[in-house]
A and B are shown apart, each in its own frame.
Chain A
């Protein structure tokens, strides 16, 4: 019998509970799943802690984590 184990993480992303079928997931990968094409231009809070963009590839999220991300907002006339 072949038994396949699939890890499903339950994450709260920008206020929405989502299930992600991944064994491990970095913040960079999560942002890609969320269709963020320029991760350097979003600010991320992982469980209410601000992160720096250079940290995104090296930090993995865990089941039950809360991740909020907001885009940089700026411009000029």
Chain B
């Protein structure tokens, strides 16, 4: 189970709403057993309403900061401003990291929906999220 502190969950939702109509993205770092501790908002270099890409320099900055805290990058998140919280065909195609959790924040409904997935070799598995 992925455990996300309420304040970090709220930060992500606030950021996703502020980013509309564009997708926003970032990393969450924490422990190997899925406890999120740190939020790294990253730039969507695509600046797009339909796509996102991380900035490699920002990725390494987050990686090094997380490592210095004794944490690892355990979540890649992005928003879906107008579509459901499930991986698109493009999300699945571009999910190269078999270890990370892919979290999607959907703003398609009145209330935001957050879901997490593991994606390995194109196979998507739901992952339970606990808000702590």
Contacts and interface: CB of A to CB of B under 8 A. Distances in A.
Contacts, number: 69
A71 B100 contact: yes
Contacts of B76: 73
B48 to A, nearest CB: 7
A77 interface: yes
Nearest to B72: A15
**Which interface class (under 10, 10 to 19, 20 to 34, 35 or more) fits A?**
10 to 19
Nearest to B66: A15
A77 B96 contact: no
Interface stretch (B7-15, B78-86, B122-130): B78-86
A73 B82 contact: no
Contacts of B72: 15
Main SS class of interface, B? mixed
Contact of A43 (B51, B56, B67, B80): B56
Nearest to A70: B59
Interface residues of B, number: 34
B90 interface: yes
Interface in A1-54: 14-15, 38, 41-43, 45, 50
Nearest to A40: B96
B15 to A, nearest CB: 16
Contacts of A77: 23, 50-51, 80-83, 88, 90-91
20 contacts: A15-B67, A15-B72, A41-B96, A50-B57, A70-B59, A70-B73, A71-B97, A73-B52, A73-B53, A73-B59, A73-B76, A74-B51, A75-B52, A75-B93, A75-B94, A76-B51, A76-B52, A77-B23, A77-B90, A77-B91
- Top 4 nearest A-B pairs (CB, nearest first) are A75-B91, A74-B53, A76-B51, A71-B97
Interface of A: 14-15, 38, 41-43, 45, 50, 68, 70-77
